[in-house]
Amino acid sequence: MSSLDQLEAFVAAAEQGSFSAAARRLGKVQSAVSNAVNNLEIETGVQLFDRSSRSPKLTPQGEALLSSARAVISSQRAFMARAGTLNAGTETKLCIAIEQSVSIQPLLGLLVEFENQFPYIELELLDPGTNDVAVLVRENRADIGLMMEQEHYPQGFMFRGIGHSRLLPVCSRHHPLAGRGPVSHADLRGYRQLITRSRSLEDSSHTRYQISPQCWFAESPYIILELLVAGLGWSVLPEAVVTDKLAAGELVRLELAYQPVAALQGVDVVWTETRSLGSGGQWLLDRLFELRFDQH
């Protein structure tokens, strides 16, 4: 069976164009590299280099096997790096639940840093609906959550505010409320309200936003968005969700007579004290605390 040293000698010689240059790159004497390649050719029964000229040249068979040799070397290095990660107490997998109403844009730079810092951690991103992040964290399905703030969190939960999201009242440009000027509570109560709601029937947090007696509910704010465009009601949604539809003119922002400025809803990072985070998860949590998460 060919050894890793033989494959490294083969690849180095092919890339450097000579056994002497390959030896310098590998920090070995030339004879060690030449012998390694010779032994590899004997074991495989394939001539990898044409040595008829001054500098060895890859044969067609050598060209065909070069990429496979590189893949084996790369896999071995990845194996050793991941083993080192485990030995250092770093988890191999990490799951983050990000509520659909929370924009991922402010996180992208941080995730790039995370990938560079912990390249061998398998990252999973979930996008649950309203208030379902807490359920995923509580059930240990997710290690860390990002969600719109709740008034109360279950016992054992830890949370920290990392910013705010603006909530905008919107409707279709064809809706009767569009273009009315300032609208009152009475105006809003006269039309169907579309509200995001958790799939859990035990969660009643959505009721604090309910104004109209006529309501439709959806777990996803993006389902609400399409219902709005179809003219099926009005809603209050995070700015990050409605920005594109407002820019395209499919939705209009309602002016509220009783609230001259946009309402703000906090964005929280949540975790539990019962779930131990590895070095990768703790690094990510600490960096999330430093993140300015203001969705304007």
Confirm if 89 and 279 have CB atoms less than 8 A apart.
yes
Query: What's the whole-model pTM score?
Result: 0.63
Q: What is the C-alpha to C-alpha distance for residues 211 and 91, in angstroms, rounded to an integer?
A: 46
Q: What is the C-alpha to C-alpha distance for residues 4 and 39, in angstroms, rounded to an integer?
A: 12
Compute φ and ψ for 165, nearest 5 degrees.
-125, 135
Ranges for all domains in the chain classified under CATH 1.10.10.10:
4-87
Q: What is the C-alpha to C-alpha distance for residues 97 and 127, in angstroms, rounded to an integer?
A: 6
In this prediction, residue 263 carries a pLDDT of 82
Write the CATH number of the domain with boundaries 93-162+266-295: 3.40.190.10
Write the CATH number of the domain with boundaries 4-87: 1.10.10.10
In this prediction, residue 80 carries a pLDDT of 67
In this prediction, residue 83 carries a pLDDT of 63
Ranges for all domains in the chain classified under CATH 3.40.190.290:
165-265
Vertex 177, ends 171 and 182: CA angle to 5°? 105
How many angstroms from the chain centroid is the CA of residue 210?
32
In this prediction, residue 88 carries a pLDDT of 52
CATH of 165-265, one of 3.40.50.300, 3.30.565.10, 3.40.190.290, 3.30.70.20: 3.40.190.290
In this prediction, residue 272 carries a pLDDT of 85
In this prediction, residue 222 carries a pLDDT of 92
- Per-residue pLDDT reduced to its tens digit, 18-75: 889 989 988 899 999 899 899 988 998 999 998 888 888 999 998 999 999 888 888 8
* Positions in the chain short of pLDDT 70: 1-2, 78, 80-90, 154-156, 202-203, 295-296
DSSP 95-162: EEEE-TTS-SGGGHHHHHHHHHH-TTSEEEEE---TTHHHHHHHTTS-SEEEEE--S---TTEEEEEE
In this prediction, residue 244 carries a pLDDT of 93
In this prediction, residue 223 carries a pLDDT of 94
270 is written with which tokens?
Answer: 């949540």
Ranges for all domains in the chain classified under CATH 3.40.190.10:
93-162+266-295
